[in-house]
């Protein structure tokens, strides 16, 4: 379904950090380098510190070392307001369209009543049917909030197809590694990637649980 195009796989922080964990893992496994950074006045008012170095929160567009038809987008946070979300999503989509991207795939979490471990949605009927043909069950109703929803939903306005893959999560874990692993397995199969998902297994220890009602359900 993506054979002749260029795809950007996006994962921003949300419920269980499912999309971000999956995107960050892809960035490492595919030996990506940073092409462009995106900043926003609507990011949380803080810097990230590592080994004594302070850095503004940002999102990064990454390119794998060997796959020239793929980009990865990850980030530290989502904007705190609706206007900031739309502005950042627009900036990102303009930038990746200029790089020749034809398909935007966002990775997120789904919290709800389902027996499926992965669900998918797309911005046109043909693309939704293609997901089904790729053995990805479709989400038939609901909402996908935050940048993970906007980047897919706004993609057609920038001349690209939009997709969202959702890893089923209880919403109770701060970091849901099993749900992120399910997303990685789906991406690996879709793109025939030679990456070792087993490296996620040591991270599957159960973290302390939060009551479900305390989780922000708007940002998937």
- Which domains, ranges and CATH numbers included, belong to the chain? 7-206 (3.40.50.10900)
- Across 26-35, 45-54, 76-85, 191-200, least confident range: 191-200
User: The pTM is what?
Assistant: 0.89
**E strand map for 17-102:** 33-38, 47-50, 53-56, 59-63, 70-75
Q: What is the mean pLDDT of residues 29-35?
A: 95
CB 164 within 8 A of CB 148: yes
Task: Quote the tokens at residue 105.
Answer: 């795939």
Q: What is the mean pLDDT of residues 108-119?
A: 92
Per the model's pLDDT, the better-predicted residue between 204 and 73 turns out to be: 73
Dist. CA 151–CA 161, nearest whole Å? 10
Dist. CA 161–CA 102, nearest whole Å? 6
């Amino acid at each position: 379904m993506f054979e002749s195009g260029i795809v950007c796989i996006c994962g921003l922080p949300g419920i269980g950090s499912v999309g971000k964990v999956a995107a960050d893992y892809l960035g490492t496994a595919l030996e990506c380098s940073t092409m462009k950074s995106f900043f926003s006045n609507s990011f949380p008012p803080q810097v990230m510190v590592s080994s004594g170095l302070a850095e503004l929160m940002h999102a990064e567009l990454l390119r794998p070392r060997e796959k020239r038809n793929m980009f990865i987008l990850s980030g530290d946070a989502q904007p705190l307001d609706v206007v900031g979300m739309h502005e950042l999503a627009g900036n990102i989509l303009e930038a990746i369209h200029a790089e020749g991207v034809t398909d935007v795939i966002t990775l997120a979490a789904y919290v709800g009543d389902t027996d499926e471990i992965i669900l998918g949605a797309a911005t046109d009927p043909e693309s939704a049917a293609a997901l089904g043909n790729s053995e990805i069950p479709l989400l038939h109703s609901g909402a996908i909030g935050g940048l993970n929803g906007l980047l897919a939903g706004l993609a057609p306005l920038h001349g690209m197809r939009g997709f969202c893959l959702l890893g089923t999560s209880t919403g109770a874990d701060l970091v849901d590694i099993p749900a992120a692993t399910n997303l990685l397995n789906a991406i690996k199969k879709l793109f025939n990637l030679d990456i070792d998902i087993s490296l996620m297994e040591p991270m599957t220890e159960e973290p302390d649980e939060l009551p479900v009602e305390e989780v922000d359900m708007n940002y998937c």
